Amino acid sequence: MTSNGSKKAAEQRPMELYTGSERPYDPEDLVKASGREPTPASLEWARRLIEEEGPGAIERYLP
């Protein structure tokens, strides 16, 4: 028996971890990462933030 309580091994974790800005994301991803609902106003906020801060804008909302 494995540590996940089944006879079958758990799914393998990725070998590399990503923080968020290493891969493309859109304003809706940023809105959801910040805990907001994707409304027209929050999507506009996210667009502006990405435009001002660049791809790293999502970093503050991810662990």
**pLDDT digit string, tens, across residues 10-22:** 566 556 655 667 7
pLDDT for position 45: 97
Q: CB–CB of 12/19 below 8 Å?
A: no
Count of structural domains, the chain: 1
Quote the domain boundaries for residue 52.
36-61
CA distance 46 to 29: 9
pLDDT for position 53: 94
Report which of 25, 27, 29 is spatially closest to residue 44, judged by C-alpha positions. Answer: 27
- pLDDT tens for 31-62 read 999 999 999 999 999 999 999 999 889 998 88
Residue 4 lies in a domain: no
Residue 22 lies in a domain: no
pLDDT for position 1: 47
Assign 56 to helix, strand or coil.
Answer: helix
